[in-house]
Amino acid sequence: MTIKVLAFAGSPRRGGNSETLLDWVIEGMKEEGGVEVEKVVLTEANVNPCRGCNACEKLNKCVQRDGMDILHDKIIDADCIILAAPIFCMGICSQAKALIDRFQVFRSRKFVLKLPVVPPERRGKRLGIFLSTAGQNWDYVFDAAVPSVKCFFHVIDVRDRDIHYLMINNVDEKGAILNHPTANDDAGKLAHEVISELRKRLEM
Amino acid sequence: MRVKVLGISGSPHRHGNTETLLDAFLEGAAESGGEVDKVILKNLDYVPCRGCNACHKTGECIVQDAAPPLFDRIFGMDCIAVASPIYSMGITAELKGLIDRTQYIWARKFVIKTLFFSHEHISRHKGIFISTAGLSWDNVFDAAFPAITAFFNTIGFEYHDNIIANEMDHYEGILGHPTALREAREKGQSVVREIERLKSR
């Protein structure tokens, strides 16, 4: 059995700081062995914003036919879900916010229709990772992103205490993260920690 | 000259709670003699910021769509009311997508330094944030404020006030809320009067 990881690169800038951070984590996970990672680049994934129609509260599915049709089952199947996104204007970039808001279908399933999002035996065995970068050096620059990230994971049955965070500020221009003193090491450590924890929980 | 007020509706849901609250504000502004108009973001053709940072060199956005003309229009306003419901503890992707597009204006101010707003200019240009949320939590708007603050700061508007109403699920919509619509109307009336006073000085 392999550990399944689904990784979202939320930035519109390809190969930028948040995607580099994500690539380091993915690399670290692959070194652990027995890990299957799928990386989804959001700007190429055709995920439209939520329309706020609330039809999912009745239908248990979204009325929009787009990239989420493909992602839906992968989100449920993954043992670990990673969201990587930069901070723009003191919040998560709008491409990632669109994905977060489309998780409304899971929220409706869980809280309105009271149906399971993952099978009962998999609850408490899913981990989440939020990776972020910001140009500003303010230490509170990530504060407004975190509540939305908690919603994102909460509705897909990843508990608050099972979300791991690695957020690096003061990296603005493309490639700035390459000069960060600890980011690369921290990403490697995080990958190791999360995969070890998953092995334990999945009794592998 | 009449006080110009523009409402910007960031909800994908037409005539829902947030847009109704915005309408009450705009009605109040019109009652005080304001010249009011409304933009519906979901009907506007613009894409999110690409994060390419080309504007850091030129001060212009390389994406030619409806966003830069909307910012030009905003610069001609005395007051803007930016409205978004709370989705997943934040503003909608539509409004965040627009706010992120102000990067070229930010670059003019802080990178190439060709744009500066005086304190007097800022104090005469008022920004209002209008929002509704289904949840009853007191903190449900907290994560929306920083992006709205960044938006108003970048475009040289004072973050004048919030018109926010939570517990929409409990009240079964904005029409069931005991005070929100009246408050929005009164704030629309008073902000126009205040801008008139500032302009006549």
Q: Which domain holds residue A72?
A: 3-201
> What integer is the mean pLDDT of A108-130?
96
- Structural contact between residues A49 and B41, judged by C-beta atoms closer than 8 angstroms: no
Tell me the nearest-neighbour CA distance from B31 into chain A, angstroms: 31
Instruction: Look at residue B155 in the predicted model and tell me its pLDDT.
Output: 98
CB contact set of A193 (below 8 Å; sequence gap of 6+): A164
> pLDDT tens-digit profile of B30-68?
999 999 999 999 999 999 999 999 999 999 999 999 999
Measured between CB atoms, does B103 come within 8 Å of chain A? yes
Contact B150 A103 (CB under 8 A): no
pTM: 0.96
CA-CA distance, A52 to B71, in Å (whole number)? 25
Measured between CB atoms, does B71 come within 8 Å of chain A? no
CA-CA distance, B140 to B170, in Å (whole number)? 14
CA-CA distance, A12 to A169, in Å (whole number)? 18
Which of B45, B61, B87, B137 should we substitute to test contact with A (largest number of A Cβ atoms within 10 Å)?
A: B87
> pLDDT tens-digit profile of B74-129?
999 999 999 999 999 999 999 999 999 999 999 999 999 999 999 999 999 999 99
ipTM of the complex: 0.94
Contact A100 B49 (CB under 8 A): no
Contact A89 B151 (CB under 8 A): yes
CA-CA distance, A98 to A47, in Å (whole number)? 7
How many domains are there within chain A?
A: 1
Instruction: Look at residue B1 in the predicted model and tell me its pLDDT.
Output: 85
Within 8 A of B93 by CB-CB distance, chain A residues are 49-50, 94-95, 97-98, 101
Contact A88 B49 (CB under 8 A): yes
Distances (CA, A) of B173 to A108, B20, B88, B180, B184: 18, 10, 18, 11, 15
Domain-wise residue ranges, chain B:
4-200
CATH number at residue A182: 3.40.50.360
What DSSP line would sit under B173-195, residue for residue? SGGG-SSHHHHHHHHHHHHHHHH
Tell me the nearest-neighbour CA distance from A140 into chain B, angstroms: 10
- CATH 3.40.50.360 correct for B4-200: yes
Q: In the structure encoding, which two tokens stand for residue B44, read together?
A: 């506007």
